[in-house]
Chain A
Amino acid sequence: MEVQTQTKPKSSIKKTIRITGAEALIKCLLAEGIDLIYGYPGGAIMPIYDKLYKYQDQLNHVLTRHEQGATHAAQGFARVTGKTGVVFATSGPGATNLVTGIADALIDSTPLVCITGQVASHLLGTDAFQETDIISISTPVTKWNYQVTKSSEIPKVIAKAFYIANSGRPGPVLIDITKDAQFGELDFVYEKCKAIRSYTPVPEMDINKVKAAAELINNAKKPFIVMGQGVILGQAEKELKALIKKTGIPIASTALGLSGLETDHPLFVGMVGMHGHYAPNIKTNECDVLIAIGMRFDDRVTGDLKRYAKQARIIHFEIDPAEVDKNVKTDVAVLGDVKVTLKALLPFVNETSHIQWHQEFKDLYELEYEVVIKDQLNPKKSGLTMGEVIEAINKYTKGEAVIVSDVGQHQMFACRYAKFTRTRSKITSGGLGTMGFALPAAIGAKMGVPDREVIAIIGDGGYQMTIQELGTIFQTKIPVKIVVLNNSFLGMVRQWQEMFFDRRYASTKMVNPDFVKIAEGYDIKAKRVDKREDLQAAIQEMVQSKEAYFLEVVIEKEDNVFPMIPTGASVSEVRLE
């Protein structure tokens, strides 16, 4: 060997090794710094699992109980860490079970790399056992996908996959690898992907746009900022804070932007959108300059577009050109990485304060407090409210926890009432609204930030969509906390039936099993609370538990989330009751 290295010229050519495609894949993951995978094995991906066995000291594979659970766990991990989540699944049903999670990751800009096994290439198109055309199926829900049929393609394709998933606006990538490509050998060498000629991850900032934005902001009497998840994804929390500190502009958040700014920041005025806070919704239609930062004007945020902020000049800070002017026509669009563009903006904006204007938000908050919040936190009814449960969680976690919520009323209560002191602490399925997201996502989140408290808040409906992941908790002993807010209804749908369908409760009543027994079957500490006087102690016990803990809280059956902007209404028509 020594002789060989001496005779070889010192060139930049990297040494290759001869290995199988399956082993090459594992080595690619290691080269990308991956040490955690969520997945489920099956015939078409067995060569890869076989190599996983060999590398199990370097790669932790978490066997979820369903492939959908694997995607959500990977999403939870990615959302709290900013790193790319990795998922393995077999062909056919394994691959199709990923689709919901992938769609969720695309719409919520979450970096995932999903690896699916595929039947051998000579069987493609023959309707072979467990063959599905997962490339065609996943095309509309992936940022990129590719089918590998030759072992030699693996290093380059995987390098591309990781680069694409976690650059620019992040998103899910699916790589389908035929069984023969996993078995076949190649001369392996890995090089990270740094550029793709057809792909511009971050558009170049135009300083003139920054100046134009500053001018609008400087001349504004009633400026208003709405931040989205882009601030978190772009790690621009500090830059945002510097901007509001200097300008004194009131700021609200979308559901996914929550925790990007601490909840008790003096300028923070709450959440916008369908079940957002009263003031920011009303003031959207009264501000003179609306500054949207890393958000995409989702219809749940805007209500009726024809009556959305028509009086205001619109500034949009955005990384994805396709989001600009998609729903709301902007006056100034500042494209680029929000960390860079906000930093560039700061010297051009004047030091201002908008005390009077900010006071108007506070006045409306008082109104909302009187009509809505007070009753949630100190209810007159005997039944427990979701608001008071979240408030109790705030008390015992001091706003330090990662709150992972599912989809429904409890999700909106969690968004509205949970307090955050740290970024990347509110994880929920926003764009897709995927029931069943929270339990597996909380598992992934806890694995991503093991030193932090992670609490899943789930409805009795959504809990049963991925309840099998209790098995993953049982096997991994991951100490996540689970709170099921049980109102014996598919609450959010019931609320709509009550309000818009004359209380015709079609298929929304739930007859539920004994959740405590189920949790105990998985050896998870479990408790059920149905009285106000037991709530505080139960929450405290849960938060203090070093192990996983399941808490069912029986909630007032027919409570509603308010405020609410009914579908088709304008943000200014937000209803308090």
Chain B
Amino acid sequence: MEKELLTVSIYTENFVGLLNRITTIFTKRHVNIESITASKSEIENVHRYTIVVRESETLIKKIVKVLEKQIDVIGAFYHSEDQTIYQEISLYKVNVENVNNSKFKEIITTNHAKIVAVEKEFVVIEKSGTKEETDKLYNELNPFGLMQFVRSGRVVITKQKMKISEILNNNKNN
């Protein structure tokens, strides 16, 4: 089975230790996690993990069922690239000496990036977008002396409904 980039969304209770339970389900099967983010969700007291993996759909389907089976997991889903709208945020730390260069300013504007901090020795630039977009900016800023670079995991909105409230209500009425 061919490997593809897939996003796994997991809605959970907010308990300590759950992250470990979730990640071991991937690592036990030798699935490398490309990125992982955790945040609150649209429902109060419900957490959401977004995990991006490069794996075959067959294996991820099985993993999602095992995730679902965990007591404190409310629901788990996976989505292919075209079923998601996503962003990653990148931060670039650049030496302040190079900033007054007109080429530099042009790069910031054409890439729709932002300067979010100016310090004595450096500036910090922020860019949200796809991996390709933040990579492009990386390549263009590199000649100016990148002091640090960091990129977040994906944050993802899915086109498909995930019906978490329904699951919660169903189990309550048991």
What is the interface of chain A, defined by CB distance below 8 A to chain B?
Answer: 135-136, 139-140, 143-147, 164, 194-200, 320-322, 324-326
Contact = CB atoms under 8 A, between A and B. Distances in A.
Contacts of B168: 197-198
B13 A198 contact: yes
B62 interface: yes
A168 to B, nearest CB: 9
A103 B66 CA distance: 16
Interface in B7-38: 12-13, 15-17, 20-21, 24, 28
Nearest to B66: A322
Contact of A322 (B20, B21, B68, B74): B68
B65 A322 contact: yes
Contacts of A147: 16-17
Nearest to B74: A198
16 contacts: A140-B21, A140-B24, A145-B17, A146-B17, A147-B16, A194-B174, A195-B171, A195-B172, A199-B72, A200-B167, A200-B171, A320-B69, A321-B68, A322-B62, A325-B61, A326-B62
Contact of A136 (B20, B28, B171, B172): B20
A322 B61 CA distance: 9
A176 to B, nearest CB: 10
A306 to B, nearest CB: 14
Given A139-B17, A140-B28, A164 B62 contact: no
Contacts of A146: 15, 17
A195 B174 contact: yes
Contact of B20 (A139, A195, A320): A139
Contacts, number: 59
A200 B24 CA distance: 22
A196 B62 contact: no
Nearest to B12: A198
B171 A198 contact: yes
B150 interface: no
Contacts of A325: 61-62
Interface string B98-136: 000000000000000000000000000000000000000
Nearest to A164: B71
Query: Which range contains the number of B residues in contact with the other chain?
Result: 20 to 34
Contacts of B66: 322
**Which residue of B12, B28, B73, B174 has the most chain A CB atoms within 10 A of its CB atom?**
B174
Given A197-B74, A198-B12, A198-B73, A136 B62 contact: no
Contacts of B71: 143-144, 164, 196, 198-199
Contact of B172 (A144, A145, A197): A197
B69 A197 contact: no
B56 to A, nearest CB: 14
A194 B69 CA distance: 18
A265 to B, nearest CB: 33
Contact of A139 (B21, B61, B62, B74): B21
Contacts of A140: 21, 24, 28
A85 to B, nearest CB: 19
Contacts of A139: 17, 20-21, 24
A197 B171 contact: yes
A446 to B, nearest CB: 32
Contacts of A321: 65, 68-69
A127 to B, nearest CB: 19
A197 B170 CA distance: 8
Nearest to A173: B71
Interface string B155-174: 00000000000011011101
Contacts of B167: 197-198, 200
Contacts of B12: 198
A196 to B, nearest CB: 7
Nearest to B171: A197
A205 B69 CA distance: 17
Given A139-B24, A146-B17, 7 more contacts: A139-B21, A140-B28, A145-B17, A195-B172, A196-B171, A197-B171, A326-B62
A419 B72 CA distance: 42
A483 B8 CA distance: 51
The 8 A-B residue pairs whose C-beta atoms are closest, nearest first, are: A322-B65, A195-B174, A198-B74, A144-B71, A197-B171, A197-B168, A322-B69, A199-B71
Contacts of A200: 167, 170-171
Nearest to B170: A200
B26 to A, nearest CB: 12
A195 B167 CA distance: 12
A145 B62 CA distance: 22
A196 B69 CA distance: 13
A136 B69 contact: no
A143 B70 CA distance: 7
A131 to B, nearest CB: 16
A362 B167 CA distance: 49
A196 B171 CA distance: 7
A146 B20 CA distance: 13
A372 to B, nearest CB: 37
Contacts of B61: 325
Contacts of B170: 200
A541 to B, nearest CB: 49
A140 B17 CA distance: 11
B164 to A, nearest CB: 10
A36 B163 CA distance: 42
A194 B172 CA distance: 9
Contacts of A197: 74, 167-168, 171-172
Contacts of A195: 171-172, 174
A93 B72 CA distance: 28
A197 B73 CA distance: 10
B75 to A, nearest CB: 8
Contacts of A326: 62, 65
Contacts of B28: 140
Nearest to B11: A198
A349 B114 CA distance: 69
Nearest to A136: B20
